[in-house]
Structure 1
Amino acid sequence: MACVPILIGCSTRITSEDGDNPPRICAKCNNASVTKAKSRTWFEAFCIPLFPFTNKKIYRCSICGWEIKQGAGFEPPVAGHPGFAPQQQQGYPPQGYVPNQMPKPPGR
């Protein structure tokens, strides 16, 4: 008797939306790399997509992969708009700043 495996499953494909799509600030990694995209989940048989059964519009970060459904109550802020840039205190260097110092020679 021969055993023939049947391969069925679902795959999700994400495509970027074209048009006026300014970059937005990611809520996870704080980079200006969030864009609008479409997410479609397809039913597959033998690795061939047969038909889509879910469609949704999302915001997706191209760096860390964070995503959220559009219209879910939160909209990532557009990069470059005043008030949404990371704030830094005046007169203090950025966190983790190490001034340029020459290393001391050993034994002196």
Structure 2
Amino acid sequence: MFLFIPLLFGLQDKLKVVDANPHVCPKCHNVTVVRATTRAWFSFFFVPIIPFKKKHIWICSTCNWNVPTQDRWEPALPAGNAGWGLHQPGYQHTYQSGQLTGYQPSYDSPPRGY
């Protein structure tokens, strides 16, 4: 008699939030980046058995952007005003502040001819 029993095994990643203080994501600009650790586990029938290497990362829960933690760098902190992130090292704004030049349309009324 032949009895077939499927054995389910493989690697599975577990994510654990270390610091829940939110930072600004450099990719999507949402305040959803937290410091976390991720660890790969060998699992048998969905039960983690043997832990493998552990990594410390910054991860965004909105766009899933992640980067390993580095010395003297962290994503910008939200300040709640127009100048957020100006004093964070290594952070660059994607927009220009100050005087705007060129054609600036007015949004308070429809264009002429409508």
Question: What TM-score does the superposition give when structure 2 sets the normalisation length?
Answer: 0.66
Backbone CA RMSD of aligned residues: 3.1
In structure 1, runs of 5+ residues without a counterpart are none
Counterpart amino acid of residue 82 in structure 1: L
Matches within 5 A, 1:1-108: 1-18=2-19, 22-71=21-70, 75-80=74-79, 81-83=85-87, 84=91, 86=93, 87-90=95-98, 92=100, 99-101=107-109
In structure 2, runs of 5+ residues without a counterpart are 80-84
Question: What TM-score does the superposition give when structure 1 sets the normalisation length?
Answer: 0.69
Corresponding residue pairs, total: 101
Question: 2 CA distance for matches of 1:77 and 1:24?
Answer: 6
Question: 1 CA distance for matches of 2:22 and 2:14?
Answer: 21
The list of structure 1 runs, each at least 4 consecutive aligned residues, that deviate by more than 3 angstroms after superposition, is: 72-75, 83-92
| 1:79–1:85 Cα contact (<8 Å) kept | no
Between the two structures, name the one with larger relative contact order (CA 8 Å, sep ≥ 6).
1
Please report how far the alpha carbon of residue 23 of structure 1 lies from its aligned counterpart in structure 2 after TM superposition.
2.4
